Structure 1
């Protein structure tokens, strides 16, 4: 790849030199700076082969339709919204165009990111509620990263939610469970990834998310009561695959708030791996850390506010694998642990 080709590719992806070097450093584990990018573009320094190959891959991905990933669990408080937000930001850092759809009537992600601006969006008719129940244009409803309504910095587009979305669960209309999928079809050319934050239940909105998605990630806190519900959600996913979305695949179960020093956490992780074998992989756990709470308190996302923290590394590695279409890192147990045969706690 020559310098002018590199510059053309960067401009086609609408990236600055600073954004480009950040993407390269994230994906290739390098420490390139802006001046290095400038030297490449002006043919003052040869472009490394790994950089050229990555740029070509990024362009190919940009020209394909978005991959839609739902984050779902009928249990609340398992880190679902935290995971969806951090993966969205991590994907953006990996050079992807990202839309996050807040499909939870509690609007946690919307309030987290926009503060009082979330209510302004609703009053302006720009929310997933208006798209699904009022036939609003989804392209006009999406809040771009550069819109002044945004109170806190973020790097991806957002489709907000509102408590009125709960009305959808009582909607009785043939084929309504496909409404979200049909709406998202209008914007799949505009993004590389669409992340859906589903509500913490097995109601219609969760079914909608699974019908629209290509993949589903199941966040689960490593505590016995939370782990018990995984089988129920996997059964639901199987039914959706059989009846409504045969192309849906499970990316994996994502353990959250994991403490490797706690015996209970280790035991729950071991059971998750054993009793979901053949149905779903268990992904690399996300450790308990104050960085997530600190980021939420300030209206930020830990991947952006604490990018060097070890706690967010699993999110970065998972997003990198998603962006590269590679197998994600999986949970690994201590081989010295005893192998018991008890039922799931």
Structure 2
């Protein structure tokens, strides 16, 4: 079933925040590719870059394609006002990229989010490093899910084991994303993976993750997940 957010400035605006206190998990590449995939489905989308490294902002400056999501680099104190402005502009989906450390920016993003996504590689180090983030999200009573990212391509015991662990410890998106060169190449050229190669496996995985996230924000069951007690 296809899903499209309602249009218009009075319609609800959904916000996805990519948060984790672990660098190198692919937050920025997922954020921009998810936003591009949403725009391709007719969902007016905006990216907010709260990370001082400016990975999403730099991606946008390299971008040559017409249309697609805009990127605004903001400070934590500007976020609340930006939400109101974007809604007035008819934005339907906001995707926030945050620093890989515990900062006021990450807390601000969690506070405005409808859904927090925690990218994690299928390793015990990434899962353990995400625990402080989960505690911060729990304190603010926000929905969240892990997203297994940069997994070995194909069937992998490492990915399967990590998925089972995350099912027990929290919520996990039903679509793991494999380590594929398309993600790095798209980020380098100002594209989303669905633009770089529309029929690639990377593109299919990002589209599946988008559908999962949209369905979850609607409160409908989709895929395998559990909630933290």
TM-score bin, normalised by smaller chain: 0.7 to 0.9
Give 1:223's aligned residue. 123
TM-score w.r.t. length of structure 1: 0.58
Alpha-carbon offset, residue 151 of structure 1: 4.2
Is 1:85 matched up with 2:32?
Answer: yes
Give 1:192's aligned residue. 92
User: Superposition pairs for residues 101-112 of structure 1, below 5 Å?
Assistant: 101-112=48-59
After superposition, the Cα gap between the structure-2 partners of 1:227 and 1:154, relative to the gap in structure 1 and judged at 3 Å, is farther
Give 1:155's aligned residue. 68
- C-alpha contact 2:34 2:192 (8 A) present in aligned 1: no
C-alpha distance in structure 2 between counterparts of 1:108 and 1:228, whole Å: 24
Give 1:281's aligned residue. 172
Deviations, residues 109-160 of structure 1 (Å, cap 9, x unaligned): 1112214xxxxxxxxxxxxxxxxxxxxxxxxxxxxxxxxxx54555112213
SS in 2 for 1:235: helix
Alpha-carbon offset, residue 102 of structure 1: 0.7
After superposition, the Cα gap between the structure-2 partners of 1:287 and 1:153, relative to the gap in structure 1 and judged at 3 Å, is farther
Which one of 144, 147, 166 corresponds to residue 254 of structure 1? 147
C-alpha distance in structure 2 between counterparts of 1:207 and 1:314, whole Å: 28
Paired positions, count:
219
- C-alpha contact 2:56 2:71 (8 A) present in aligned 1: no
C-alpha distance in structure 1 between counterparts of 2:58 and 2:65, whole Å: 10
Alpha-carbon offset, residue 281 of structure 1: 3.4
C-alpha distance in structure 2 between counterparts of 1:87 and 1:80, whole Å: 10
Give unmatched runs, 5+ long, in structure 2.
Answer: none
Is 1:270 matched up with 2:164?
Answer: yes
TM-score w.r.t. length of structure 2: 0.84
Alpha-carbon offset, residue 184 of structure 1: 1.2
C-alpha distance in structure 2 between counterparts of 1:268 and 1:282, whole Å: 12
Give 2:193's aligned residue. 302
- C-alpha contact 1:89 1:301 (8 A) present in aligned 2: yes
Give 2:211's aligned residue. 320
User: Superposition pairs for residues 18-33 of structure 1, below 5 Å?
Assistant: none
C-alpha distance in structure 2 between counterparts of 1:330 and 1:314, whole Å: 15
Q: Which has the higher contact order (CA 8 A, sep 6+)?
A: 2
Alpha-carbon offset, residue 70 of structure 1: 0.5
Give 1:66's aligned residue. 13
Alpha-carbon offset, residue 274 of structure 1: 2.1
C-alpha distance in structure 2 between counterparts of 1:153 and 1:301, whole Å: 13
SS in 1 for 2:52: coil
Q: Which has the larger radius of gyration?
A: 1
Give unmatched runs, 5+ long, in structure 1.
Answer: 1-26, 29-53, 116-149, 169-175, 242-247, 332-345
Is 1:113 matched up with 2:60?
Answer: yes
After superposition, the Cα gap between the structure-2 partners of 1:269 and 1:239, relative to the gap in structure 1 and judged at 3 Å, is same
Alpha-carbon offset, residue 195 of structure 1: 0.6
After superposition, the Cα gap between the structure-2 partners of 1:274 and 1:323, relative to the gap in structure 1 and judged at 3 Å, is closer
Give 1:213's aligned residue. 113
